[in-house]
Structure 1
Amino acid sequence: MKNEKAVVVFSGGQDSTTCLFWAMENFKEVEAVTFNYNQRHKLEIEVAENIAKELGIKHTVLDMSLLNQLAPSALTREDIDIEQEDGELPSTFVEGRNLLFMSFAAILAKQVGARHLVTGVCETDFSGYPDCRDVFIKSLNVTLNLAMDNPFVVHTPLMWLDKAETWKLADELNAFQFVREKTLTCYNGIIADGCGECPACELRKRGLDIYLSGKEV
């Protein structure tokens, strides 16, 4: 794969940044694409831009504002609380987000001559989002290939990793401190270790604590 090109779906968070480093390790040329869907925290886009610039990665920001209009959630509306009730998807779920993001990423990839798409979706430590499942990604990969008559390969390096293993992968890629200090995972818009209270921060911290405790043994 070292002689090929990849496009990484990039939010500037822990998972997509780890995937960006993974792609840089595995492909000769890498680009990143970020989607502006009028998300709750515009800082997300700024963080993604800053990381791409620091790593020397060509970065494209695409306007997906229609998604905000169609799919209200806690990530697109400040008047919707971040919460999750038993047996239901959390209020942070944005309907169709990964379907649209991957479709537009594929269109961009074909234009820039990239056959590989990389995304940080995960079915291990996740909130039950249906568009993070492996079966969805495999199905979408076939659909993209048929729709665009192009042999795309969708890579999900984190699909079967829990958060502790994701931290381990970042460490193996010599990106541990970078990911910990410069990414934005927090639903409340706080860079690095975040607010420590939202579901995203709790998941991130739990994985970090497990990984660090294992390293000390």
Structure 2
Amino acid sequence: MNNEKAVVVFSGGQDSTTCLFWAKKKFKEVIAVSFDYNQKHKLELECAKKICKEYGFEHHILDLSLLNQLAPNSLTRVDIKVDKKQEDDKLPNSFVDGRNLLFLSFVAIFAKQRNIRNIVTGVSESDFSGYPDCRDVFIKSTNVTLNLAMDYQFEIYTPLMWINKAQTWKMAYDLGVLDIIKNETLTCYNGIKGEGCNDCPACKLRSRGYLEFENLYLNKN
């Protein structure tokens, strides 16, 4: 098994791009894998391609269009608006059923064909927006299942699992890629690059985190 290589689940957003550069520091070779599931805002795939090309990462985009048919939601359908407020007993309509499970499964298959066991994903239990497939227990369970399913020892890394958005910005700062994350990534549910729309839940979480990061870290320097 090759312990010096890793595959990163890469969307072109803040979290996965931070993880991409985290992996670059930890491993000798990093491959980024993105997914086309007919998401409303294909610009995220363009961001992913541009980042990988500009900073020297091997990049693959896999077709997962069936997910769009199986799990219609506000990230895949133009006629469904993103919930701005989340009800306590209900998942937000930006949650895509099975997405991270499928992403990790396909990335694991991809990795095994290349004799790679390390997988990196940017999920976080601290700022997970209520998504059940961003929890640590899900990742650990999936790691065990993939190992059993393929008789192969994968290791799934989650660098952001126990940190909030301010700390994620701090990680980008420490890695020397703050400007890349701030200006070249797409997190916005409305498909606006960089600072985004400042209105959707993803943008609000991102901007609140940046302000906290500035207050806690940048303004002290």
TM-score by length of 2: 0.96
Q: Identical aligned pairs, as a percentage? A: 62
Contact (CA 8 Å) 2:165, 2:206: kept in 1 or not? Answer: yes
Q: Closer, same or farther in 2 for the Cα pair 1:125/1:173, shift >3 Å? A: same
- Show the counterpart of 1:85: 86
What SS does structure 2 have at the residue aligned with 1:128?
coil
By how many angstroms is 1:182 displaced? 0.3
Counterpart of 2:137 in structure 1: which amino acid?
V
- Show the counterpart of 2:40: 40
By how many angstroms is 1:139 displaced? 0.4
1:190-211 CA deviation, whole Å, 9 max, x = no partner?
A: 1100011110000000000000
- Show the counterpart of 1:18: 18
Task: Quote the RMSD (CA, aligned, Å).
Answer: 1.1
The separation in 1 between residues aligned to 2:3 and 2:116, in whole angstroms, is: 11
Shift >4 Å, 4+ stretches: none
**1:190-209 residue pairs with structure 2 within 5 A?**
190-209=192-211
How many residue pairs align between the two structures? 216
Contact (CA 8 Å) 1:6, 1:116: kept in 2 or not? Answer: yes
By how many angstroms is 1:3 displaced? 5.6
- Show the counterpart of 2:8: 8
Q: Closer, same or farther in 2 for the Cα pair 1:73/1:141, shift >3 Å? A: same
- Show the counterpart of 2:153: 151
Match of 1:100 among 95, 102, 107: 102
What SS does structure 2 have at the residue aligned with 1:115?
strand
Consecutive unaligned residues of structure 1, counting only runs of 5 or more, are none
The separation in 1 between residues aligned to 2:30 and 2:77, in whole angstroms, is: 32
The separation in 2 between residues aligned to 1:28 and 1:185, in whole angstroms, is: 27
1:117-169 CA deviation, whole Å, 9 max, x = no partner?
A: 00000000121100000000000000000101111000000000100000000
1:59 equivalent to 2:59? Answer yes
The separation in 1 between residues aligned to 2:86 and 2:52, in whole angstroms, is: 36
Contact (CA 8 Å) 1:3, 1:28: kept in 2 or not? Answer: no
The separation in 1 between residues aligned to 2:110 and 2:134, in whole angstroms, is: 21
1:163-187 CA deviation, whole Å, 9 max, x = no partner?
A: 0000000011001111001000001
Consecutive unaligned residues of structure 2, counting only runs of 5 or more, are none
Match of 2:121 among 119, 122, 130: 119
What SS does structure 2 have at the residue aligned with 1:211?
helix
The separation in 2 between residues aligned to 1:161 and 1:57, in whole angstroms, is: 25
TM-score by length of 1: 0.98
